């Protein structure tokens, strides 16, 4: 975990950059559909261009830089995870299945016992 201070102050230029990024994404999507008469690569290029412009605007804002820092830290933390071996994963899965089976049998037995007590012993309906 990092001990970076939290910034909650947004400047108007950062808000403008985020707004321009949103407009660029919308323009790319609209361009993709407006160019429906063109070939697929041209339409895809319009969409990708809009997305790249949006990423460029977002990257230069403080929120974008914060997101990039968060993503880098997330990747770093993911590398610290100790993943189980195949044998351990198989054993854990078998334990979970066995527990679920035992609980299913227990709940079925409890249901049948309560059914017997309620309908046969107490109410005498069967």
Question: Rounded to whole angstroms, what are the CA distances from 1 to 8, 66, 74, 83?
Answer: 19, 14, 9, 20
Q: Where are the domains of the chain?
A: 12-79, 83-126
pLDDT for 10? 60
pLDDT at residue 6, as a whole number? 60
Q: pLDDT tens digit string along 77-111? A: 999 999 899 999 999 999 999 999 999 999 999 99
What is the pTM assigned to this prediction? 0.49
DSSP for the chain, please give it: ---PPP-----HHHHHHHHHHHHHHHHHHHHHHHTTTS-HHHHHHHHHHHHHHHHHHHHHSHHHHHHHHHHHHHHHHHHT--PPPHHHHHHHHHHHHHHHHHHHHHHHHHHHHHHIIIIIIII---
pLDDT tens, 6-21?
A: 655 567 888 888 888 8
Residue 5, pLDDT above cutoff 80: no
* Residue written as token pair 């933390």: 77
- Decide if pLDDT at 74 tops 90: yes
Upper half-sphere CA count for residue 94 (Cβ side, 13 Å) = 6
Q: What is the pLDDT of residue 80?
A: 93
Residue 118 has pLDDT above 80, yes or no: yes
The residue that leads in pLDDT, 109 or 57, is 109
Distances (CA, A) of 46 to 7, 31, 90, 116: 35, 6, 47, 69
């Amino acid at each position: 975990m990092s001990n970076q201070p939290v910034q909650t102050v947004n400047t108007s230029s950062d808000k403008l950059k985020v707004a321009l990024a949103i407009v660029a994404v919308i323009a790319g999507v609209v361009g993709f559909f407006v160019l429906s008469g063109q070939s697929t690569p041209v339409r895809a290029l319009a969409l990708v261009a809009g997305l790249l412009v949006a990423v460029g605007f977002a990257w230069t804002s403080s929120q974008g830089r914060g997101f990039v820092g968060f993503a880098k830290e997330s990747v770093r933390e993911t590398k610290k995870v100790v993943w189980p071996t195949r044998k351990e994963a198989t054993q854990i899965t078998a334990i979970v299945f066995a527990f679920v089976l035992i609980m299913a049998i227990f709940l079925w037995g409890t249901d049948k016992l309560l059914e017997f007590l309620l309908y046969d012993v107490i109410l005498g309906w069967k």
